[in-house]
């Protein structure tokens, strides 16, 4: 059972891994705008219209389901892509106007870029009304192009809409990306509108890079330094891989913890309890016999005998001369003096003993062999 649970945990983690990895790739679709030499990816839940859109596209209801009317609006307002998310009520519009004088915004110095940013803020591109305000907040670098980022407020039918606009000049074209929130749920302060915008722009790339004319390169005072790309493709792939591997790591940690807890359990499946050292084992508690019919008591098995608790043993009373431990005859050090100190003494022989003669009763020595008084033999 435990192995089955662990196997299911691994399968769930792998499913989350592949779903997280697929969220960054398979849940988007690629679109190309050949007129602008660019391509980008949009989520699958967005309805996308380009100039070659055909009947049956769900986003055509914004243009009375008429592809010809849609193309007329696109031509009149320089629109090249219009995408709409019906759930979050977000609209992404990409517009382009030719600009051969600047050609590439990244070729110019910071002073000229600031002047161009003020010009685009004071002269907003296509909008539903004339009441449009743009506030420059940051610059963004993607695929070699420098984007000017604006917070844009637009009023339509007495309703103020929050928009985010990103503008660049690349390949002699002024390209504007405008993300409009019709739900009013996203705000500039929380950064949620910018998060959606940057996720889309991070997938943008230019398919062709045209050479700048000589007059533009001569007029440019010096290219502005591009420190780094805000979103790098390698970092994006690493982030997606790490997000996919996170469930696997969590599942492995859970399996290791479960296995360690299983090893600590005893053969009965319960964690053994430690007993205090020196405490006698406690006998099992005797359960009171259940009252039953006398005839049934004979058929019941007799309860197991409960062993009597052991009595503590009394310490033995020392009798007679106390027993002393045998001395260590081995020398503790390789020293001649300690060898002599620990050497055993010679026991006296019987020849050194003094006894009494059995005939005359006088004290004689055994080494004499015979009594010097009566001549009797000493045994």
Domain coverage including residue 356: 350-379
Q: Range with the lowest mean pLDDT among 142-146, 187-191, 229-233, 364-368?
A: 229-233
The pTM score is 0.55
What CATH number is given to the structural domain containing 44? 3.40.1000.10
For 137, how many CA atoms within 13 A lie in the half-sphere containing its CB?
15
Judge whether 167 lies within some domain: yes
Judge whether 267 lies within some domain: no
What is the number of structural domains in the chain? 2
Boundary-marking domain end, from 230, 253, 285: 230
Tens of pLDDT along 342-373? 445 555 555 557 788 888 888 888 777 788 88
Q: What pLDDT is recorded for position 150?
A: 93
Tens of pLDDT along 187-196? 877 568 888 9
Judge whether 117 lies within some domain: yes
**Residue 320 pLDDT more than 90?**
no
Residues 1 and 186: their CA atoms lie apart, in Å, by 48
Q: Range with the lowest mean pLDDT among 10-19, 149-158, 185-194?
A: 10-19
Judge whether 326 lies within some domain: no
Tens of pLDDT along 53-65? 888 888 888 888 8
Residues 350 and 367: their CA atoms lie apart, in Å, by 8
- Tokens, residue 23: 């969220």
Boundary-marking domain end, from 230, 264, 287: 230
Judge whether 17 lies within some domain: no
Judge whether 314 lies within some domain: no
Q: Is 59 helix (H, G, I), strand (E, B) or coil?
A: helix
Long-range contacts of 260-265 (CB under 8 A, 24+ apart): 262/2
The DSSP element (H or E) to which 315 belongs, if any, is none
Judge whether 193 lies within some domain: yes
- Tokens, residue 336: 């001649």
Boundary-marking domain end, from 202, 230, 258: 230
């Amino acid at each position: 059972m435990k192995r089955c649970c662990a196997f299911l945990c691994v399968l769930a983690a792998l499913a989350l891994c592949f779903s997280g990895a697929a969220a960054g790739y398979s849940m988007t679709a690629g679109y190309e705008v050949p007129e602008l030499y660019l391509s980008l990816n949009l989520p699958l839940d967005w309805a996308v219209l380009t100039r070659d859109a055909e009947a049956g596209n769900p986003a055509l209801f914004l243009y009375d389901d008429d592809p010809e009317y849609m193309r007329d609006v696109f031509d009149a307002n320089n629109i090249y892509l219009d995408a709409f998310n019906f759930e979050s009520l977000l609209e992404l519009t990409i517009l382009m106007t030719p600009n051969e004088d600047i050609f590439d915004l990244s070729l110019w110095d910071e002073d000229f870029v600031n002047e161009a940013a003020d010009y685009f803020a004071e002269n907003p591109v296509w909008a539903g009304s004339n009441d449009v305000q743009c506030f420059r907040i940051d610059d963004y670098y993607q695929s070699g192009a420098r984007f000017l980022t604006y917070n844009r407020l637009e009023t339509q039918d007495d309703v103020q809409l929050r928009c985010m606009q990103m503008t660049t000049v690349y390949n002699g074209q002024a390209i504007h990306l405008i993300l409009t929130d019709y739900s009013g749920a996203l705000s500039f302060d929380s950064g949620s509108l910018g998060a959606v915008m940057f996720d889309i722009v991070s997938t943008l790339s230019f398919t062709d890079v045209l050479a700048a004319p000589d007059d533009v390169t001569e007029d440019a005072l010096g290219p502005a330094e591009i420190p780094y790309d805000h979103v790098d493709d390698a970092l994006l792939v690493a982030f997606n891989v790490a997000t996919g591997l996170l469930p696997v790591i969590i599942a492995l940690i859970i399996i290791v913890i479960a296995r360690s807890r299983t090893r600590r359990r005893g053969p009965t499946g319960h964690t053994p309890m430690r007993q205090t050292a020196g405490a006698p084992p406690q006998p099992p508690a005797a359960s009171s016999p259940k009252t039953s019919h006398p005839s049934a008591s004979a058929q019941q098995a007799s309860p197991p005998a409960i062993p009597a608790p052991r009595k503590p043993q009394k310490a033995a009373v020392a009798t007679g001369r106390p027993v002393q431990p045998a001395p260590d005859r081995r020398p503790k050090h390789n020293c001649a003096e300690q060898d002599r100190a620990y050497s055993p003494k010679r026991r006296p022989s019987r020849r050194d003993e003094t006894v009494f003669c059995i005939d005359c009763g006088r004290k004689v020595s055994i080494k004499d062999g015979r009594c010097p008084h009566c001549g009797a033999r000493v045994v």
